[in-house]
Chain A
Amino acid sequence: MKRFLIISRQSPYGSAAAREATELALACALFDQPVALLLLDDACYQLLPEHQPETIAQKNLSAMQQSLPLYDVDKIFVCQRSLAQRGLTLDSLSLAVTSLDTRQISALIRTYEMVINV
């Protein structure tokens, strides 16, 4: 068994990056590996409520995001500075997440054996 950390940096739409990062996190959980998700930069936007992707003919990422805790991806971390830069606060997000400063983020990354930057 290995501990996986999936790092996502992209906004929910504009590319498949966010979806494919989420799919990878879910796959780790489905295969019974301890897994956490770390959201940096524009990935903060993934957790905003009320996406309306149908206007750009995209599938809603929120449904998949909301299923993360159900599949035991219960550790979701978000970068404090990325949130602040975008005028977002923890209580504006649609999932319960832990915010970390940059020093905590580097300490966090060191504790995982498998780190995948998607």
Chain B
Amino acid sequence: MKFTLLIQSAPIDSQSSATALRFARALLKKGHTIERIFFYRSGVHSANRLTLAPQDETNLPQEWQRLVSDNSLDAVVCIAAAIRRGIVNQDETARYGIEGENLLQAVELSGLGQLIAAATQSDRLVTFGGGG
């Protein structure tokens, strides 16, 4: 089956992003296809590569980076939600004349259309977080 995953809550504040990561791994293990992973609302913090974790804790953005690049997955952060929350790539720091890009390398900044396009191509859209 083809899945699109939507992550809406921030790591640390919620378990959702970690659950989504484990779900994504399980999907691949079972031979399913992931059409796209989309980060919306506070879920965009999952794509902050400047996140640091104590040595004995999981660094979730790092884990997302590894999953996406190891499996050549398509991962997108909602640009409107991201720039409001200070998640930017080089294009955006140049556009707004600010310093400090922090977006994970394996993840792209794009619009909500990418979520809708992926959902229309998928058998299932599974959301993590949100509702609050």
Contacts and interface: CB of A to CB of B under 8 A. Distances in A.
Interface stretch (A23-31, A47-55, A103-111): A23-31
B130 A114 contact: no
A118 B116 contact: no
Interface residues of B, number: 20
Given A27-B111, A30-B113, A20 B41 contact: yes
Contacts, number: 47
A33 interface: yes
A105 B72 CA distance: 39
A10 to B, nearest CB: 8
B9 to A, nearest CB: 11
B60 to A, nearest CB: 21
Q: Which range contains the number of A residues in contact with the other chain?
A: 20 to 34
B127 A23 contact: no
A1 B116 CA distance: 10
A61 B96 CA distance: 25
Given A2-B120, A20-B81, A116 B112 contact: no
Nearest to B41: A20
Contacts of A20: 40-41, 81
Interface string B94-132: 000000000000000001110111011000010100111
Contacts of A115: 125
Contacts of B84: 16
Q: Which 3 A-B pairs have the closest CB atoms?
A: A27-B112, A117-B131, A31-B116
Interface of A: 1-2, 4, 7, 9-10, 16-17, 20, 23-24, 27-28, 30-31, 33, 114-118
17 contacts: A7-B131, A16-B41, A16-B84, A17-B41, A20-B41, A24-B40, A27-B116, A28-B116, A30-B113, A31-B113, A31-B117, A116-B125, A116-B127, A116-B130, A117-B127, A117-B131, A118-B41
